[in-house]
Amino acid sequence: MTTIIDGKVFAARVRGQVQAHVARLREEHAITPGLAVVLVGEDPASQVYVRNKHASTVEVGMASFEHRLAADTGEADLLALVRRLNADPAVHGILVQLPLPGHLNAELIINTIDPAKDVDGFHISNVGLLGTGQKSMVPCTPLGCLMMLRDHHGSLSGMNAVVVGRSNIVGKPMAQLLLGDSCTVTIAHSRTKDLAAVCRAADILVAAVGRAEMITGDFVKPGATVIDVGINRVERDGKTRLVGDVEFASAAAVAGAITPVPGGVGPMTIACLLANTLTACCRANGLAEPEGLTA
Ligand code: GUN
């Protein structure tokens, strides 16, 4: 029997843990964790994400600070806002929604965020800390994948993990996290020779390539755990559907466990953003970090 790893249930559990910890912080220390989200421009998908982040933040009892700026906002003004948020003691987490309009230097802006408040884990200091196995802020999507893998397997030590995709947001940090949990890690990508054979060696297969249903059942070792990070919109039978990077039916027939799309990794990303904000708040106040919600 293949286990379908239910990201909606898991994310609800994580949000519940965050909510309980936030309530304790308020009662015992009179502290409310705060998350600031900055959106520049009117990209429709980004507007939906930002709305969902705001609703989830408020739902777990945190303070949400939304900053919506015009698409033609200058770099100096955006940097000034980031510096103001860095200095604001009520703000424990800062997220600048990507993509930014083309005239803004995303790297410069991300690297201006105080690394301790960088709840996306994109700041170059956090990337370096993660790469050297030190305490850091960890990107939300890979953190969510790690939590699901640990929950399913307990220890990941000694397992063969293959990550397909080498992005800074998912592939590379995912590989670092799996290495941190003592997996033997391979990073594969679009130029990898005989990708199917490389993937078939994996006990843990993480698909983060951004190509609809590219990973089929013949890429999967019998009994392997398959984590599908992809969210791709495809037209099928005259309707728009969401599919992952994994062809679910053929992969599920071979896998031991698999995350569906939608309802797998996706819901974990915002839950981990809340977890990271809580972690940042605890660290800023010299308090114990929430258990099970960090790498
Ligand atoms: N845009 C899409 N996903 C993300 C994310 O995880 N963080 C940020 N900052 N922007 C995004």
Q: Give the pLDDT confidence of 40-93 residue by residue, as tens digits.
A: 999 999 999 999 999 999 999 999 999 999 999 999 999 999 999 999 999 999
CATH: 3.30.465.10, 3.20.20.70, 3.40.50.720, 3.40.50.2300. Which one for 140-267? 3.40.50.720
Predicted local confidence at residue 113, as pLDDT: 99
Which amino acid makes up residue 63?
A: A
CA dist 59 and 161 (Å) reads 35
Nearest CA to ligand 1 atom 1: 98
Q: Is the CB of 106 under 6 A from ligand 1?
A: no
Q: Is the peptide bond preceding residue 260 cis, with omega within 30 degrees of 0?
A: no
- Residue among 40, 98, 122, 231 to mutate when testing ligand 1 (max atoms within 8 A of CB): 98
- Relative to the CA of 139, which ligand 1 atom is closest? 6
Catalytic residue among 17, 53, 172, 228: 53
Does 13-115 match 140-267 in CATH topology?
Answer: yes
Catalytic residue among 118, 120, 181, 245: 120
The three-state secondary structure class of 224 is coil
Cβ of residue 118 lying under 6 Å from some atom of ligand 1: no
Does residue 247 sit in helix, strand or coil?
coil
| 97 flagged as catalytic | yes
Q: Please say whether the beta carbons of 203 and 225 come within 8 A.
A: yes
Give me the mean pLDDT over the 272-293 stretch. Answer: 97
> How far does the centroid of ligand 1 lie from the alpha carbon of residue 46, in Å?
8
Instruction: Dump pLDDT digits (tens) for 149-180.
Output: 999 999 999 999 999 999 999 999 999 999 99
- Can you give the pLDDT at residue 8? 98
Q: Report CA(97)–ligand 1 centroid distance (Å).
A: 5
Over residues 193-209, the pLDDT tens digits come to 999 999 999 999 999 99
Tell me how far apart the alpha carbons of residues 260 and 243 are, in angstroms, rounded to a whole number: 9
Q: Give the pair of three-digit tokens for residue 200.
A: 């078939």
CATH topology of domain 13-115: Rossmann fold (3.40.50)
The reply to whether 172 belongs to the active site is: no
Residue 222 and residue 202 in contact, taking contact as beta carbons nearer than 8 Å: no
Q: So what's the pLDDT on residue 31?
A: 98
Domain ranges of the chain: 13-115, 140-267
Mutate to test the pocket of ligand 1, among 95, 111, 167 (most ligand atoms within 8 A of CB): 95
**How is residue 108 written in tokens?**
């410069």
Q: Give the number of other Cβ atoms within 10 Å of residue 145's Cβ.
A: 30
Q: What burial class does residue 206 get, using C-beta atoms within 10 Å of its C-beta: 0-12 exposed, 13-18 middle, 19+ buried?
A: buried
Mutate to test the pocket of ligand 1, among 39, 97, 274 (most ligand atoms within 8 A of CB): 97
Q: Which pair of tokens denotes residue 221?
A: 């070792």
| Location of structure tokens 């947001």 | 169
pLDDT tens for each residue of 210-255:
999 999 999 999 999 999 999 999 999 999 999 999 999 999 999 9
The closest alpha carbon to 219, from 183, 237, 244, belongs to 244
